[in-house]
Amino acid sequence: MMKVLVIYTGGTIGMVPSDQGYVPVSGFHDRVLEQLGSAADQLPEYDLVELDRLIDSANVVPQDWCEIARTLERHWAQYDGFVVLHGTDTMAYTASALSFMLRGIDKPVILTGSQIPLAELRNDALDNLITSLMLAASGEIHEVCVYFNGRLLRGNRARKVRSTGFDAFDSPNCPWLGQVGIHIDLRHDLLLPAGTPDFCIPQLDPSAVVALSVFPGMPARLIESALDDPRVRGLVLQTYGVGNPPDADLALIGALEQACARGVAVLNVTQCHQGAVSQGAYATGATLNRIGVIPGSDLTPEAAFTKLHLLLAQDLFGEQLSDALSHPLCGECA
């Protein structure tokens, strides 16, 4: 019989009301059993562990990704699948980070959460949890995924696209890996094959990567200020359309050029909800090619940010870093 480990990290799914609003608290498993009653016997066999520091996902930092990954690594041999309960605000970041730290895996890691806490009578928490448990026990998935409201998404392609709807997550540049209704229908042609687990969980410096989105009239000093800290080694730059910056602003382009010249990795991704960077399709984008900015293909901002973090932590630089950023490691880009 398949056995699943559920890791409760915090987030809306396990929150309860307080005088200050919803807060994450321990004792989630007891609340699950109370909701399920005798139906709990119909679930796949599972254990549940809680992180020592339960968090609202708005407070997630890179070290939290590492703690979750290390928890998975510690228990990898004892379980057939894993469910990570996480807040929705930064779930796409954590799913992306885990996909890069747990490459080549041979078991499912399913991240889920909810828009309404389990403690409320009307909620989306119970269905997301139950279905995630079933997916984790299926033996058919060998990658990090997000499951939410009937959609199974590749973790490093997922984005939170709605702030309040139950259909909060989508993967605009990648078909869903599965759809859940009366039946659980998986797209086996899209799922990654089982591999040989290659866990790489480095120490992450939260100061190493920053992200900026260009806007009309953006002053060059914003880039200069963001990169002034010598600990900053990477910049995710969100540009217009297919990767176009305001190239008529010579000071702004100059700030980017200086950053590239001193070894800062600048990764260009689109601000658009769907689509990819085609750096050089327009003359404005070609400017970035000239100064050494790395095109990010159809990476989501979350995947770009976490991938850059992980590769820099592995001390990749120059051509080796550029090549790794431009090519898929685990299905994160075309």
Tokens linked to 174:
């990648």
Q: Which amino acid is at 85?
A: L
The C-alpha R_g of the chain, in whole angstroms, comes to 20
| Cα distance between residue 132 and residue 7, in whole Å | 12
HSE, side-chain direction, 13 A CA sphere, residue 79: 26
Annotation marks residue 12 as catalytic: yes
- What is the 8-class DSSP label of residue 332? S
The number of beta carbons lying within 10 Å of the beta carbon of residue 248 is 9
Q: Which amino acid is at 263?
A: G
- What is the 8-class DSSP label of residue 134? H
Catalytic residue, chosen from 9, 88, 239, 284, is 88
Contact 313, 276 (CB under 8 A): no
Contact 186, 175 (CB under 8 A): no
Contact 22, 118 (CB under 8 A): no
Catalytic residue, chosen from 12, 90, 131, 287, is 12
Nearest-CA neighbor of 246 among 212, 282, 284? 284
Nearest-CA neighbor of 143 among 182, 187, 183? 187
Q: Is 34 exposed, middle or buried (0-12, 13-18, 19+ CB in 10 A)?
A: exposed
Annotation marks residue 90 as catalytic: no
Cα dihedral 270→101→264→217 (10° resolution):
30
β-partners of residue 82 are 5, 109
Contact partners, residue 241, CB within 8 Å, separation at least 6: 270, 271, 272, 275, 282
Contact 265, 325 (CB under 8 A): yes
- Residues identified as active-site: 12, 88
